[in-house]
Structure 1
Amino acid sequence: LSVGSLTGLASVWASTLATQTMAEDVHWTVMVLTALAVGTAAGVVNGLIIAYGKVVSFIATLAMMIAARGLAEMISGRQTQVVSVDGFLDFFRADVIGVPVLVWIFAVVAVAGWFLFNRTTFGRRTVAVGGNLEASRLAGIKVQRHLLYVYALSGLTAGIAGVMMLGRTTAGTSTNGLYYELEVIAAVVVGGTLLIGGRGTIVGTVIGVLIFAMLTNVFTINNLSISAQNVAKGAIIVVAVLLQQRFARRSAST
């Protein structure tokens, strides 16, 4: 639940006057590293609270969602922080063989996620832990440490999203990533990942993201209000979950 707020916090922290000044004195990648560090650190905090503090993930990430958004507002003073570092702007506005850099970043992250999930021990352990914590523990997986790694990875990707948002909008604000947690859940569910855990694919999630991006564009072109868009997306989530449950019961019966 905290990924949207972490995206906003990362974008705000990376675009503060102090960070941008350092970026101009050293290199524009300072802004990128700052956003990634902020996202990862928040993810580690989530992981520690959930894995070692035994707090339910819903409550822990809900608390982080509120706290991260509040911290972003404090840092920015609820003001928009415009990016003025030329190197940063030039990089994220560039095209590679006619394709925007932001699209390439999305593709690289998706491919890296697919490889990690499908071709490494970490990915197989993630599926096992998501399916059954106790069985994973009995199988010799260090469940607590693995959960910490997973939440840290989630925070890292939220930091990447914050950087991409900075590159697209050229401004850091505490409202960046607002309600993105709902978009994320919707895309993952539509992509076939079970909310109860144990099954999911990166390819499915990417397809879910593209479906919702396409729907948002269609809604915008047809001048559908934000409220109506949220109602439609909420309905899609409910239908996707109902279909998941039906398929799960059918699989269990066979």
Structure 2
Amino acid sequence: MAANAEGEVRVDTRRTQGSPLHEFATAHFNVLSILAVFIVLFVFFSIRADAFLTVDNLVNIGRQIAPTVVVATLMTFVITTGAIDLSVGSIVGLSASVLGLMAKTGNPLLALAATLAVGAGIGLINGYLTAYGKLQSFIVTLAALIAVRGVALLITQGYSTPIEVNWLLAIGQGQFLGLYTPTWIAISTVLVGWYVFTQTRFGRYVVAVGSNAEALRRSGVDIRRLQMWALVLTGLFASVAGVLVSTRLASGSSNSGTGFELEVITAVVLGGTSLMGGRGSVIGSMIGAMTLGVIANGLVLLQVDVYWVPITQGIILIVAILLNGNLVSRVVGRIR
């Protein structure tokens, strides 16, 4: 507020701009917070567990978390639209089963194509019922979680099927430049997912659907098709995760991916994606998956009972939801 030469009082309504670093920290508070947690955990396990900070162990962590990273990248799109997909774990199990059975009895290349088609097909059903059937994605994918797992158990009768085709096994066990193939696939998925989410019209529409779907619809965008495709792609990449799991273990099992959906959703929420939609981060989801992987690996190396791993992940999910809601808004408000 200031007075001019005539004595008139003027109020300066211009917003005070903070430093670029302050603006960046405010805009990316969620991602930076989980990154800080990851760094703390990484340092802690490096100090407490002798075998943690070794090349072999770190490379192994990269391979273990690859399926989670792959699916979490696409789950970021789904949750940002305001939907959710609970069927990804069951799709992993069915995909692993289909790949094992078809590779054993037929053409391995056809088996791989059929496996990916299975995931995309389930995603298409989920997406169509959600977008065009106007059903809640939670209910639709919960039903798919149960039914798809049942199909996997039915076609395998509960038995695992060995995978013995060398080039298929290379997908889960091969190495390039010191990293396993699944790690490279995960890295590629994150890079492409980040670009699509942040630099393309599709990514902007995904955010807009979650924040104000009606406004986007009135602007002429077919939001139903967009919502459907988000679930189709998540189903497809859940099948990719099934391929990675089964070829790494050289076995297609209907029990693969049990509880996988919890791990994926935890990683995405930890990374700053809002369960209410309208806000998401592919990089944050990757860091969330890395955090879960470090926790699981570190606890095992510290010889902590393995049953503590899911307990810890469940607690982390609750904390993530709290951080993702009003608590974050209050903290960011105070920062501003």
Deviation for aligned residue 1:221:
1.6
Map of 1:34 onto structure 2? 114
SS class of match (1:133): helix
1:231-252 deviation digits (Å, cap 9, x = unpaired)? 2111111111111211135557
> Are 2:101 and 1:20 equivalent residues in the alignment?
no
Map of 1:68 onto structure 2? 148
Distance 1:67 1:91 in 2: 28
Distance 2:312 2:197 in 1: 31
> Are 2:124 and 1:44 equivalent residues in the alignment?
yes
Return the match for 2:328 from 244, 247, 254. Answer: 247
Map of 1:10 onto structure 2? 95
More deviation in 128-137 or 56-65?
128-137
Return the match for 1:207 from 287, 293, 316. Answer: 287
Distance 2:171 2:244 in 1: 11
More deviation in 69-78 or 219-228?
219-228
SS class of match (1:174): coil
SS class of match (1:15): helix
Distance 2:312 2:258 in 1: 18
Deviation for aligned residue 1:60:
0.6
> Are 2:183 and 1:103 equivalent residues in the alignment?
yes
1:52 and 1:144 in contact (8 A); partners too: yes
Distance 1:210 1:87 in 2: 28
Distance 2:129 2:215 in 1: 22
Q: AA paired with 1:99?
A: L
Change (3 A) 1:132 1:69: same
Q: How many residues align?
A: 249
Displaced runs of 4 or more, over 6 A: none
Distance 1:252 1:125 in 2: 27
Deviation for aligned residue 1:176:
0.3
Alignment TM-score, normalising by the size of structure 2: 0.71
- From the CA coordinates, give the structure whose radius of gyration is larger: 2
1:20 and 1:31 in contact (8 A); partners too: no
Deviation for aligned residue 1:143:
1.1
Map of 1:188 onto structure 2? 268
Deviation for aligned residue 1:90:
3.7
